[in-house]
Chains A and B, each alone.
Chain A
Amino acid sequence: MSRLAPGHRGCAGCCDAIAANFVLEAVGDDAIIVNPTGCLEVMTTPYPESAWEVPWIHSLFENTAPVASGIEAALRALGRKGDTKVIAMGGDGATVDIGILGISGTFERGDDITYVCIDNEAYMNTGVQRSGATPFNASTSTSPPGSQSFGNSRPKKNMPAIIAAHGSPYVATTSISYPKDMMRKVKKAVDIEGATYIHTHAPCATGWRFDTSKTIEIGKLAVETALWPLYEMEDGEITSVRKVKKPKPVEEYLKAQGRFKHLFTMEGGKEEISKIQDIANWNIEHYGLL
């Protein structure tokens, strides 16, 4: 039985719903979810309904991790911790931008929670503004390509590395296109004591502009082009990597999405695509993907 009930208001092919489903599937019934504002919160809780079959609280942006820390501390203080898993689940904006201060505190203290970032690479709920996790050269409503730029001018913030630098015992990247891999890692994360982190790549049909039937396909392409490496880090060291035998050229991933369309029409676009290929090449080498 799905612990995220059907009938929610997610778009067709919504990545958030898929991600939340996998997380709940992996953790089971004994979970408490803290969820900041975002598509996931809005679409799963239209008045007077809730799609959540587990206890769930809607937090603010900045206090998601602190609220989770408070819940965990209270359960411990009351002697009711047992096997209950406290999970904070936020989007990329809530995680890598506005919420990072509180997350840093939670991971520094090593509170026994799992933080799951559902990364769809922009602020989708307010209309596709760039976030710190928006990839290089992607078009968003606040990083429009034009005579002055090719879109978002900075690379994605490496949040897993930032969390690992806090001394987290377990950090893993996942993709909603690889459900078994994702659920295994989520299960592992919640079972390890301390503050653990899952960063899930989540293609958004609305924000990235692709057909709603292609969510999983696009996610796979990100992994197959080495733009989204799947790995696990334990105590700061990379301990497992999902190999990509024959990495596809990044064009295959880029051309499938409206947010990169300008790279194929603008003068100089080819050069920009080769910079994105460089990112993939760096990933291949750095994470040892081959």
Chain B
Amino acid sequence: MKRHKDLLLHGNEACAMGALAAGMRLFAGYPITPSTEIAEFLSVELPKVGGTFIQMEDEISSMGAIIGASLAGVKSMTATSGPGFSLMQENLGFAAMAEIPCVLVNVMRGGPSTGMPTRPSQGDVMQSRWGTHGAHPIIVLSPQSVLECYTLTIHAFNLAEKYRSPVIMLMDGIVGHMWENVQLPEKIEVIDRPEPSVPPDWYNPYDNLPGGEIVPLVPFGEGYRYHVTGMVHDKSGYPTLIHEEVEQCLDKLIYKIKNNLHDIIRIEEYMLEDADICIVAHGSVARSAREAVNIARNEGLKVGLLRPITLWPFPRFHLENISKKVKLFVVPEMNYGQVYGEVLKSCPKRAVRVTRVDGELVTPAQIMEKIEGAAL
């Protein structure tokens, strides 16, 4: 087999490269630690492939610009961190409501507010789900390695196009700034926006098609005139307050994700077959958790790992299945227990958390301490 050249990359760079590989051709962003390298990299690389890099005046406009670009038919992305993510929330809700595909990268740093710009965190797990108001659909992915920053960014664009939804790459500061040797995959799957199957006069961008099929979003300027709004709308896109249409509009938003969990949710299991204890960890903390599993196994303890790669929708059914077999869940995270809460909801069994909010990574030793201290 031909061996590919190893590349020494950091997570932010790999994310930007993944976006380019997925066909992203417009980036709009605003500098903020620890995500800035994504913008810097793309400011150099995008023009080379005929793409557009725009440095915006803030994060509100950054998110606005990628929505506009996507409506014009260009795959688009922005990248930010904590305070910037907060500023993007209103536009994020607009993209979800108007069903505009786009990718938002949030390289998490310590919060709240300005928090700890140069220290990593996983404090935005809940904000990525519920940061914008109202019941809205969202897909959130969490990479644990530099390679995954590349592959999951491609996946994020595919999901965005497939489900006409904003997708969030929820990286933490450690993954974003980590350097690793990687071999980029030779073949990747790229999903592009499908062509419409009907002429302009018949086109309803928000139609409820049988089987939950999603209407392709036709780029502005191709002769398909339609209405886009953040208001609750009917199938043509025009605002409505008719009860049935309101319900249909909101149901469709939720069910396009809910009915496709099998396709959207990705998890990784490690040594779970015979496990008594299941660690649930994502992002960089999953690396520590994997090491904790190895240490525990050496000590004869039956410990395994469930790693949600898709954080939202949360892999609830996987957890429920595992909970039939294991006696205890251990949930380490760099926050006060945001995923822990979801684990409790999924399986009201014994679960303990390992939290860390001081800007340092949860260590394998910390996780082991909890495991060894748990009387089974």
Chain A residues with a Cβ under 8 A of chain B: 37, 58, 60-62, 96-98, 100, 123, 126-127, 129-130, 132, 141-144, 146, 148-149
Contact = CB atoms under 8 A, between A and B. Distances in A.
Given A129-B36, A129-B55, A142-B43, 4 more contacts: A98-B30, A129-B31, A142-B39, A146-B44
B87 to A, nearest CB: 7
Given A98-B30, A126-B33, A126-B36, A61 B58 contact: yes
Contact of B31 (A96, A123, A144): A123
A141 B57 contact: no
Nearest to B39: A142
Nearest to B29: A142
29 contacts: A60-B83, A60-B114, A61-B58, A62-B58, A97-B30, A97-B57, A98-B30, A98-B58, A123-B31, A126-B31, A126-B32, A126-B33, A126-B36, A127-B31, A127-B36, A129-B31, A129-B36, A129-B40, A132-B57, A141-B43, A142-B31, A142-B55, A143-B43, A144-B43, A144-B44, A146-B44, A146-B47, A148-B47, A149-B47
B197 interface: no
Nearest to B47: A148
A97 B58 contact: yes
Contacts of B57: 96-98, 100, 132
B53 interface: yes
A60 B117 CA distance: 13
- In the complex, the 3 A-B pairs of residues with the closest C-beta atoms, listed nearest first: A98-B58, A97-B57, A129-B31
Contacts of B43: 141-144
Contacts of A100: 57
Contacts of B44: 144, 146
A129 B44 CA distance: 13
Contacts of A96: 57
A37 B33 CA distance: 12
Contacts of A127: 31, 36, 40
Interface in B44-89: 44, 47, 53, 55, 57-59, 83, 87
Given A98-B30, A130-B55, A132-B57, A141 B40 contact: yes
B113 interface: yes
Contacts of B30: 97-98
Contacts of A146: 44, 47
A100 B61 CA distance: 13
Interface string B1-39: 000000000000000000000000000001111001001
Contacts of A58: 114
Contacts of B40: 127, 129, 141-142
Nearest to B36: A126
Given A98-B30, A126-B33, A129-B39, A60 B55 contact: no
A142 B43 CA distance: 6
A105 to B, nearest CB: 15
Contacts of B113: 60
A123 B87 CA distance: 19
A62 B87 contact: yes
Nearest to B114: A37
Contacts of A129: 31, 36, 39-40, 55
A97 B43 CA distance: 18
Contacts of A61: 58, 83
Interface string B207-251: 000000000000000000000000000000000000000000000
- Give the one of B30, B32, B47, B59 with max A CB within 10 A: B30
Nearest to A141: B40
Contacts of B59: 98
A132 B57 CA distance: 8
Contacts of A141: 40, 43
Contacts of B114: 37, 58, 60
Nearest to B48: A148
A101 to B, nearest CB: 8
B50 to A, nearest CB: 10
Contacts of B53: 142
A101 B87 CA distance: 14
A215 B58 CA distance: 29
Contacts of A62: 58, 87
Nearest to B34: A126
A126 B40 CA distance: 11
A102 to B, nearest CB: 11
A98 B84 CA distance: 11
B54 to A, nearest CB: 10
A232 to B, nearest CB: 27
B138 to A, nearest CB: 24
A120 to B, nearest CB: 14
Nearest to A59: B114
B257 to A, nearest CB: 32
A256 to B, nearest CB: 25
A142 B47 CA distance: 12
B260 to A, nearest CB: 37
Contacts of A149: 47
A37 to B, nearest CB: 6
A127 B10 CA distance: 17
Interface string B316-333: 000000000000000000
B350 to A, nearest CB: 39
A208 to B, nearest CB: 17
B308 to A, nearest CB: 31
Nearest to A122: B31
- Give the one of B31, B40, B59, B83 with max A CB within 10 A: B31
A129 B33 CA distance: 12
A163 to B, nearest CB: 16
Contacts of A98: 30, 57-59
B23 to A, nearest CB: 20
B169 to A, nearest CB: 20
B52 to A, nearest CB: 11
B11 to A, nearest CB: 17
A141 B39 CA distance: 9
Nearest to B53: A142
